[in-house]
Amino acid sequence: MTSNLAVHAEGLVKVFGDNRAVDGVDLRVAAGTVYGVLGPNGAGKTTTIRMLATLLRPDGGRAEIFGHDVEREAQIVRQLVGVTGQYASVDETLSATENLVLFGRLLGLSRPEARKKAVDLLEEFGLTDAAKRPLKNFSGGMRRRLDLAASLIARPPLIFLDEPTTGLDPRTRAQMWDTIRTLVAGGSTVLLTTQYLDEADQLADRIAVIDTGKVVAEGTSDELKSSVGTSSLQLRPADAADLDDVRIAVERVLGVPATVSPEATRLTAPMQNPDLVTDLLVVLRESDIRLAELSVQKPTLDEVFLTLTGHGVSTADTREERELEGSPA
């Protein structure tokens, strides 16, 4: 399977009792990119990461990190990856600095090296002011940042971030995004899990959507958006009285039903063939109908996510339906 991908997984499986938590996951993550794994609660995101990070043994399939097998070469793999969440049980009575120094020492740094690393990382993560405070006084956002800082002491080339921004306020989330971008600009590869669609949209070069242990879609966020239904055309006539004429023209030229907005000022129609829009515009001009607005809207990643995974908790029945919906049209 040897490849120069940061992550190359094929058919990964993890079974807990009779629950196939991860059920044949394939992943290919190019080095130097951000890869998003998107899925609802219980989809198998954390379990997948734990297998890739050698914290959990796969029950089937295999995975390589920079060409090293996670089972046969676990020692090497461990030197190549950093995982956040791993250090969740830090010492609450120690300060942020002391915690980081401790991790540095555990990784084999000398005391002065560990101290310097701690100071640099706290600076980088905007925690300098809080550095001396015991951890028990840290807010959730500060903890999350300290957690990420701890996983970066060794500067691993591949960083797993398991829901790095869950529960953070918008400003702290944005800071975290900046930190992640900085890491990647510095050559790191990041695999992050998230339930936030905008996060995957903002950060990830490619995204895998997983649900009930399976990858139901994979691609760039644009590809995922266009895999779900078509774009829609929105039109607003300058004179609302023309709305009905616009609707008739749209239905005749584009051959699709048009929906009038609740406030009866604009109109939306699925756009299967962008070429026909030119014809439509010509018809409108010839009918002396002026437009105040014309836009083309791709489905949001939210719509993609809902279409691919459905809502909330799954039953065997809905799961089967979803898999049908999720398969490429």
Ligand X SMILES: Nc1ncnc2c1ncn2[C@@H]1O[C@H](COP(=O)(O)OP(=O)(O)OP(=O)(O)O)[C@@H](O)[C@H]1O
The residue within the footprint of ligand X, chosen from 8, 45, 117, 206 (CB under 6 A), is 45
Q: What is the rounded distance in angstroms from the CA atom of residue 139 to the CA atom of residue 164?
A: 14
Q: Are 193 and 7 in contact (CB under 8 A)?
A: no
Strands 214-219 and 81-83: unpaired
Closest to ligand X by CB, 39 or 237: 39
Q: What is the DSSP string of 93-124?
A: TSBHHHHHHHHHHHTT--HHHHHHHHHHHHHH
Terminal Cα distance for the chain, rounded = 30
Closest to Mg ion by CB, 46 or 95: 46
Q: What is the rounded distance in angstroms from the CA atom of residue 83 to the CA atom of residue 106?
A: 15
Q: Which stretch binds ligand X (CB under 6 A): 45-53, 246-254, 259-267, 269-277?
A: 45-53
Q: How far is the CB of 110 from Mg ion (least distance, A)?
A: 35
Q: Which stretch binds ligand X (CB under 6 A): 28-36, 44-52, 237-245, 317-325?
A: 44-52
Q: Which stretch binds ligand X (CB under 6 A): 24-32, 40-48, 250-258, 277-285?
A: 40-48
Binding to ligand X by residue 85, rule CB under 6 A? no
Binding to ligand X by residue 89, rule CB under 6 A? no
The residue within the footprint of ligand X, chosen from 7, 43, 150, 243 (CB under 6 A), is 43
Q: Which stretch binds ligand X (CB under 6 A): 15-23, 83-91, 94-102, 109-117?
A: 15-23
DSSP letter (8 states) at residue 134:
B
* Dihedral sign computed on CA atoms, order 318, 224, 220, 165: negative
By CB under 6 A, the count of residues binding ligand X is: 12
Q: How far is the CB of 39 from ligand X (least distance, A)?
A: 5
- Tell me which of ligand X, Mg ion, none is bound by residue 250, counting a contact when its beta carbon lies within the kind-specific cut-off of 5 to 8 angstroms: none
Binding site for ligand X (CB under 6 A): 16, 19, 21, 39, 41-47, 195
